[in-house]
Amino acid sequence: MNRAIAVVGPTGSGKTRLAIELAKRLDTEILSADSMQFYCGMEIGTAAPTVEEQAEAKHHFVGILQPNEKMSAGKYQCAAREKASELLEQGRIPILVGGSGLYISAFVEGLFDGPARDQAVCNRLQAEAAVQGNAAMMKRLRAVDPDYAAQLTSENDLVRLIRALEVYEITKRPFSDWHREHQETLQPWDVTQVALQWERPILYDRINRRVEKMIALGWREETQRLIDAGYAKDIHRLKALGYQEMAACLRGERTLEETLGATQQHHRRYAKRQLTWFRANKKIHWLPAEDKQGIEDYLDETAALLSNR
């Protein structure tokens, strides 16, 4: 069984430091699973690991793409599993770290999009959803594929909901059946998943202070460099938190103080969505973030256990 560790959780929770401390104990390397940290030139706004942090433990998949290039969960799954396998061959256990739940899931469980798409069916289902509402579409999915419907954290996950209904209409088989068949042929990975658990007010305060630090480090200037390099449309496409607000600030449409407040709010809302995603995963071990000794003990115990397996 292939082994790996995944340090997951919401933005601002301290994933990078936890992963580095674990990597040092295991003498291994880190695979970033943050969908925004793939892009170079966006280090400040995405809170990418610093040069100093990357010197403590080697990181992969940080700053590997230009903002106008594209990464998908499927591509990441292949590339990350290949790198993880290389580390295992060297006798080192790979560590994934990131808050992008889809990319973590792609590595751990394998990503499968099912049969070829039928755009006409997809378009019709989207039109029906616009008229009938998400709740009605979820009710329809529960009737034909209750197993997959149970995996969706919300009826607002319309992309996955529509895709599951589309597959059922095309093949007359539940999407969950296709997933099960895919899992049976997929090379399994034994992934230890861990996250830091903060009281909500403390996490939000950490996020607020983090955004303030990003601005102090030159996030405004970083955004201007991206715009000057012709990446304004890509900033919008990537939906990177805060860059659109900062771009509006640079255009004179809002003050820096307004930008700060809006960005902090967006980061807090993003953290809330991340928590919803990760709390649905019962395999994650949550560590009380303020129990420093407990964290140290967990790191030591985990390192000793995995080193001897």
> Do 155 and 15 sit in the same domain of this protein?
no
Closest listed residue to residue 67, CA positions, set 35, 99, 32: 35
Q: Which domain CATH number covers 171?
A: 1.10.20.140
Paired sense of beta strands 2-8 and 30-32, if any: unpaired
Range of the domain at 61: 2-110+187-307
What's the total number of domains in the chain?
A: 2
Identify the bridge partners of residue 96 per DSSP, sorted by sequence position: 6, 31
3 state DSSP class of 118:
coil
Strand ranges for the chain from DSSP E: 2-8, 30-32, 59-60, 95-97, 189-197, 284-288
List the structure tokens of 301. Answer: 């115990």
Last residue of a domain, one of 153, 185, 217: 185
> Do 86 and 191 sit in the same domain of this protein?
yes
Q: Residue-wise pLDDT tens for the chain (309 aa)?
A: 689 999 999 999 999 999 999 999 999 999 999 999 999 999 999 999 999 999 999 999 999 999 999 888 888 998 999 999 999 999 999 999 999 888 998 898 877 667 888 899 999 999 999 999 999 999 999 999 999 898 886 788 888 899 999 999 999 999 988 877 777 666 678 899 999 999 999 999 999 999 999 999 999 999 999 999 999 988 877 778 889 999 999 999 999 999 999 999 999 999 999 998 899 889 999 999 999 999 999 999 988 887 765
Q: How far apart are CA 241 and CA 73, in angstroms?
A: 19
> Do 216 and 266 sit in the same domain of this protein?
yes
Last residue of a domain, one of 136, 164, 185: 185
